[in-house]
Structure 1
Amino acid sequence: MNMLLNPNQREKLDPTDDKLFYDQPRFVTHVDTGFIQQLTDLYRDRLKPNSRIFDMMSSWVSHLPDDVQFEHIEGHGLNAAELARNPRLNHYFVQNLNLDPKFPLPDQSFDAVLNTVSVQYVQYPEAIFTEIHRVLKPGGIVIISFSNRMFYQKAIAAWRDGSERDRVELVKNYFKAVPGFSAPEVIIKQSQIPPVFQMLGMGGGDPFYAVIASRVE
């Protein structure tokens, strides 16, 4: 495991315990419907039915396709009320990964690990991606999706200070820092709103980014 970030790059503007920040449930979606549809379509295309899924840093909704059934969906997050509301989760656990990055999960126990619009809050990605590799079965897939939204005070400096393309490279490097992942694949889909309408003041949709890799050993 290579150490990618220096201490300054791991810092947050709000250094208080993340569990305090997420203490109150937020039953909202943090990206727009266009982003969510693209993510659900990606899951439908890449996730195998009847497989085992780990939805890391999840919430009250997982954006998985309703028409696909899975053997088991394990959830994780920082707010038990949100996770309890998520109808797709078979089981969940609450844990602050910035304080304890070790998953309470067996080796090679999942076919896919998902992380949706949350990777920007991880302070020790080298340890987290090592754990992702550990719990994945050989050939298992990881899908890290994100946009340009964030809780700014809780995102790490390396994320806050970079451009959107820099953030794509950052996530690619998270995978590259851990031996045993395939070369990362990147999917980028910008707003579907035509530029002429954006010039008239109509906001564009949330950009969609996904970085995908598989366990190869």
Structure 2
Amino acid sequence: MRLEKNGLPANYFKRYDESDDRGFYLYPRLTAHIDDAASAATSQLFRELLPPGGRILDLMSSFVSHMPPEIAYDEVIGLGLNEEEMRNNAQLNACVIHDLNKQPRLPFDDASFDGAVCTVSVQYLTRPIEVFAEVGRVLRPGSPFIVTFSNRCFPSKAVQIWVNTSDAQHSILVRRYFELASCFEEIVTLDRSPRRWLSDPLYAVVGVTERA
């Protein structure tokens, strides 16, 4: 079995559709990818953990960032593949078109953000350890990285290990990404699923960059 540099099996990160991601995301999807209750739970988590007045990175951003509307941030920068989606996202101050599966290195300076989020998109990363390490690089010491996910995905573009595992196993997997990135501490897994019948579940793994 071939292993990646991080020690995880290479076939974990194969996908049914290995075509260029830019083609898949060429047309905008101007909708939230979780229901209202799960979206509210996401906003509440951000309300609790993201620093007001901070500079925030919205990784794999889209039409909605789920930032709590009553909190002012210095700047929210979206990074994603569809410019039209991000241009229509009223919570973003700026957007950057960037394919993390082709180039995990983030186009930002070291220690230039006070928090980062990746909302219901981690399942599409084919090089997650490299990306998580990059998030650690661009965050200031002691800053949170909040990764949320539900039970929805585009299965043709999600990595094999995600498609073939359960919600509980997803939390273990994402926690392992944080651990292997080797720049986070205080890693916690959370179940923030709304207590409503038929609502989308909402899970999170949160890590804080190592303090100086």
Structure-to-structure mapping, 1:43-82, within 5 angstroms: 43-82=46-85
SS of residue paired to 1:34: helix
Partner of 1:115: 118
Partner of 1:201: none
Q: 1:102 aligns with which of 105, 117, 126?
A: 105
Conservation of the 8 A alpha-carbon contact between 1:55 and 1:73 = yes
1:88 equivalent to 2:91? Answer: yes
- For residue 133 of structure 1, what is the amino acid of its counterpart? G
Q: 2:181 aligns with which of 178, 183, 191?
A: 178
> What's the offset of the Cα at 1:4?
4.2
Partner of 1:211: 205
Output the aligned Cα RMSD.
1.4
- For residue 118 of structure 1, what is the amino acid of its counterpart? S
SS of residue paired to 1:186: strand
Q: Please give the per-residue CA displacement for 1:182-213, whole angstroms capped at 9, x wherever unaligned.
A: 1311111345235xxxxxxxxx1111101001
Conservation of the 8 A alpha-carbon contact between 1:176 and 1:183 = no
- Where in structure 1 are there 5+ consecutive unaligned residues? 195-203
> What's the offset of the Cα at 1:89?
1.2
Conservation of the 8 A alpha-carbon contact between 2:150 and 2:201 = yes
> What's the offset of the Cα at 1:178?
1.8
How has the CA–CA distance of structure 1 residues 2 and 113 changed in structure 2, closer, same or farther, with 3 Å as cutoff?
A: farther
For 1:167 and 1:56, locate their aligned partners in 2 and report how far apart those are by CA, in whole Å: 18
Partner of 2:28: 25
Conservation of the 8 A alpha-carbon contact between 1:101 and 1:128 = yes
For 2:51 and 2:194, locate their aligned partners in 1 and report how far apart those are by CA, in whole Å: 28
Partner of 1:200: none
Q: 2:144 aligns with which of 119, 126, 141?
A: 141
Q: Please give the per-residue CA displacement for 1:67-126, whole angstroms capped at 9, x wherever unaligned.
A: 000111111110000011111111111111101111110000001010000000000011
1:163 equivalent to 2:157? Answer: no
For 1:4 and 1:173, locate their aligned partners in 2 and report how far apart those are by CA, in whole Å: 11
Conservation of the 8 A alpha-carbon contact between 1:2 and 1:126 = no
For 2:188 and 2:6, locate their aligned partners in 1 and report how far apart those are by CA, in whole Å: 22
SS of residue paired to 1:207: coil
TM-score (normalised: structure 1): 0.92
SS of residue paired to 2:65: coil
- For residue 207 of structure 1, what is the amino acid of its counterpart? P
